[in-house]
């Protein structure tokens, strides 16, 4: 019987040589580059649509809160006017969330619009004023993405587009709530208050004096009017057409 000798200690197992991973090949001709741009455009459209859906979602939440709390506040005489102030607070939280989402949406929207304006529009109807470096801004954004607008500008845009109308509806409802005694818990024969002192008394909010509450609401709506009438910049996408979110 033949005896098998053990393997020497310095023997190493045979392994396959690891091949380095190669990067994907870049487009070699115009046809491959056109195909790559089309697929990239579809991807950017998908991301832009996703962030647009998130923006619409917070707007829908705000409208639901306004409708729900107004129905509670105005349908029941015993309900406190603080319910309307609470609705203002809630939609302000949704506004802050939506402004942040709008900044992300604006990045992808800008890439899509540059492709549409400089590539697809030029392919359909060529013009002489085409910028030769139009793709450089897209490449820079892909290498190092940055926000194109500030948080304040995004906040002001969302207020002008949608939220100013919800805030005005809440202001009218709140004014009706504190100025009409028939909407107060202790009903009075007169339909509306007769002097400013009654208005201040009706505006009391827990330990807060009614004058403080009226002043705080006034300052808040003054800031809203500043946001509404703040001049829009003429650069960016606003320099190319009027269809904007």
How far CA 232 is from CA of 79, 99, 101, 128, 204, in Å, comes to 40, 16, 19, 29, 38
Residue 4's SS3 state is coil
Q: pLDDT category, 1, cuts 50, 70, 90?
A: very low
pTM of the model: 0.80
Tell me the pLDDT tens digit for each residue of 115-151: 988 888 888 888 776 677 788 888 898 999 999 999 9
163 close to 171: Cβ distance less than 8 angstroms: no
In whole numbers, what is the pLDDT of the chain averaged over residues?
Answer: 82
185 close to 81: Cβ distance less than 8 angstroms: no
Specify the pLDDT at position 176.
86
pLDDT of 184 > 90? The answer is no
Maximum distance among all Cα pairs of the chain, rounded to whole angstroms: 121
């Amino acid at each position: 019987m033949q005896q098998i000798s053990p393997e020497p200690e310095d023997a190493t197992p045979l392994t396959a040589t690891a091949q380095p991973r190669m990067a994907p090949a870049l487009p070699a001709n115009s046809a491959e580059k056109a195909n790559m741009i089309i697929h990239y455009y579809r991807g950017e459209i998908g991301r832009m649509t996703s962030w647009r859906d998130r923006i619409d979602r917070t707007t829908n939440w705000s409208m639901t809160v306004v409708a729900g709390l107004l129905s509670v506040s105005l349908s029941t005489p015993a309900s406190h006017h603080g319910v309307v102030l609470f609705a203002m607070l809630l939609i302000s939280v949704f506004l802050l969330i939506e402004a942040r989402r709008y900044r992300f949406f604006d990045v992808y929207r800008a890439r899509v619009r540059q492709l549409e304006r400089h590539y697809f529009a030029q392919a359909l109807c060529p013009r002489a004023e085409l910028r030769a470096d139009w793709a450089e801004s897209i490449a820079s954004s892909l290498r190092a993405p940055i926000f194109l607008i500030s948080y304040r500008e995004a906040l002001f845009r969302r207020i002008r587009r949608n939220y100013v109308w919800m805030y005005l509806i809440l202001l009218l409802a709140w004014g009706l709530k504190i100025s009409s005694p028939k909407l107060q818990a202790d009903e009075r024969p007169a339909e509306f208050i007769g002097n400013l002192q009654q208005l201040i008394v009706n505006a009391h909010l827990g330990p807060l004096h009614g004058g403080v509450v009226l002043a705080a609401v006034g300052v808040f709506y003054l800031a809203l009017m500043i946001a509404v009438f703040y001049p829009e910049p003429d650069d960016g996408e606003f320099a190319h057409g009027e269809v904007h979110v």
